[in-house]
Amino acid sequence: MEFAELFGSFGDVFGSTEGVRVFSAPGRVNLIGEHIDYCGGRVFPAALSLSNTVLARRNGTRKVRMYATDLKIKAEFDLDDIDAARSLRWGSYQAGVAKELAGAGVVLRGADMVFDSTLPFGSGLSSSASIELATGLALLSLADNFSEMRPKLDNVQLALIGQRAENRFCGVNCGIMDQFASAMGKAEHAILLDCATLEYEYVPLKLGDYSLVLANTHKKHTLGASKYNERRAEVEEGLKLMHRALPEKQFANLCDYSENDFTDAKRVLDTEPLIRMRVEHVIRENARVNKAAEALKTGDLARFGLILKEANDSIRYLYEVTGDELDAMFEEAQYFDYCLGSRMTGAGFGGCTVNIVPTALTQEFCAGLGKRYEARTGIKPEFYVCAVGDGARELSI
């Protein structure tokens, strides 16, 4: 929605627009480094210009009252009984963030908030992290002790608060990648993030005559209901096996092990073939991230694309989190020779693929791939040419 329309909507729901402030936080695309953030790996996401915009102001009560422009639903929770909001159909991410902020010492005020999302929900582009970050920044900015708390709660800390909200309040055992990208994104850059230390580096997205095209399978993934938490348990099992196989190396994270370590541990890993597959994905994917970042830094897009395809095979056959629709989207993209690389992005089980396509041919690609995908699955997909934007921030109005 345009700003004027959004303010109109706020006025309709909450009476007037006096004192309203505007906050925004983006979704993300992950270029490579999938399902390894929770194994202490390196990931390579970029923030999108697709985002959640939040209009917010204090309301003089102890309630946070919310309205979603896309779903057209209202929800509220009480700052003195945030736990009651666990059952909300929409609004529990916001409540979880409020609870974590309060736990960190933020003196929260009741607020009226309108949420406007340009991110497709449940499409693997981190709409939930974007809600968490926009909410976190808004509630913190409206808090009584904002000037005391903001230096302690910078955007990296807000990302951790968002992750904890999702882990503890919403029951999804996610890693830090999505919230970090939403908090710390930078226009025209990808973020090379070490999830074990939170050290990061911005890498210019030097794509030359190429663009990133997101292909939405329109197969919804529901993270909570998916096998996400099951995969996490499997890699914990994998870490124990690595400890047993290489007792001299008691590393804290699976991604601390090298590809050679994986080979050395093979005899023990072979006793648990399924766990071995998961471990192989994690260790090799972590190595691939470094290679992919190097290729991008040196402008070698062809190599970057090939590594992306390799990563897709790994997440598909070793980690098994793709599914028919993502597989169809990936396979049909191979028909277009000029597409340098393609892979699923995000948690999987539906959602999007990301594709490297000559900018001049994006329309042709979307139309052609759309037709092929629909003929094969019966589902109409959607495409977005990626614009890489900034992280969570207050917008001046």
Among 9, 26, 31, 35, indicate the residue that binds ligand GLA (CB under 6 A).
35
Please spell the DSSP secondary structure of 281-328, one letter per residue: HHHHHHHHHHHHHHHHHTT-HHHHHHHHHHHHHIIIIIS----HHHHH
Q: Which stretch binds ligand GLA (CB under 6 A): 35-43, 50-58, 61-69, 357-365?
A: 35-43
Q: Which stretch binds ligand GLA (CB under 6 A): 174-182, 210-218, 302-310, 379-387?
A: 174-182
Among 38, 44, 330, 336, indicate the residue that binds ligand GLA (CB under 6 A).
38
193 lines the binding site for ligand GLA (CB under 6 A): no
Q: Using CA atoms, how far apart are residues 101 and 162, in angstroms rounded to an integer?
A: 9
Measured from the CB atom, the residue of 110 and 238 that comes closer to ligand GLA is: 238
Among 139, 347, 369, 392, indicate the residue that binds ligand GLA (CB under 6 A).
347
Does 270 qualify as catalytic in the annotation? no
Measured from the CB atom, the residue of 175 and 341 that comes closer to ligand GLA is: 175
- Single-letter amino acid code for the residue at 202: Y
Q: Give the CA dihedral 240, 245, 248, 249, nearest 10 degrees.
A: -50
Please count the residues of this chain forming the interface with ligand GLA, following the rule CB under 6 A.
Answer: 12
346 lines the binding site for ligand GLA (CB under 6 A): yes
Among 177, 241, 245, 356, indicate the residue that binds ligand GLA (CB under 6 A).
177
> CA–CA distance from 139 to each of 112, 134, 231 (Å)?
10, 9, 33
Alpha-carbon torsion (194, 180, 284, 271), positive or negative:
positive
Q: Which residues contact 118 (CB under 8 A, 6 or more apart)?
A: 50, 51, 52, 53
Q: Using CA atoms, how far apart are residues 63 and 81, in angstroms rounded to an integer?
A: 10
* Nearest partner of 368 among 327, 324, 310, 329, judged by Cα: 329
- Catalytic option among 37, 112, 116, 178: 178
Q: Which stretch binds ligand GLA (CB under 6 A): 63-71, 145-153, 173-181, 276-284?
A: 173-181
234 lines the binding site for ligand GLA (CB under 6 A): no
- Report in angstroms how near the CB of residue 135 gets to ligand GLA at its nearest: 16
* The pair of three-digit structure tokens given for residue 148, joined into one six-digit string: 């005391």
Q: Which helix (H) or strand (E) holds 55?
A: strand 45-58
Binding site for ligand GLA (CB under 6 A): 30, 34-35, 37-38, 126, 174-175, 177-178, 346-347
The catalytic residues are 178
